[in-house]
Amino acid sequence: MGEDVVMALESRGEIPPKVISSWRAAGGEAFRSPDTHEIVVFDSFFSHGFGLPTHPFLRRVLHHYDISLCNLNPNSILHLTMLSKCVKYSWELIHTSFFSATSSTCNLLGAR
């Protein structure tokens, strides 16, 4: 992905500005070689619901399965996006139906 593609993502608001997120295009690299503080992201992820900064749910899934973001394909991003919304919706239904706001001790998707 060249710098022009990443600039287009930035102009559409799909990624934070370069001065904030310090992104860099990987164009011209024979093999993607991120630094230790970088992650590889494919541009097609953004059209399937991926956004920056990432949701805690995605970070927990990646940590749980000990995988990196580049191990997923765009459909995986789409499925995880839908799953996180379904779980959040289910949690809200359960929370409002069975728990008061002060007695809940569950920590699903960071809900309090």
Tell me the average pLDDT across 63-85: 85
The predicted-structure confidence for 10-66, as pLDDT tens digits, reads as follows 888 888 888 887 888 877 777 766 777 777 777 787 777 777 777 788 888 888 889
Residue-level pLDDT at 94: 65
Residue-level pLDDT at 104: 47
Residue 99 confidence class, pLDDT cut points 50, 70, 90: low
Residue 7 confidence class, pLDDT cut points 50, 70, 90: confident
pTM above 0.85, yes or no: no
Q: Is the peptide bond before 53 cis (omega within 30 degrees of 0)?
A: yes
Domain boundaries, the chain: 3-110
Contact call for residues 70 and 77 (beta carbons, < 8 A): no
Give 46's contacts (C-beta < 8 A, 6+ positions apart).
9, 14, 15
For 30-78, the DSSP string reads SS----TT-----HHHHTTT--SSPPHHHHHHHHHHT--GGGS-HHHHH
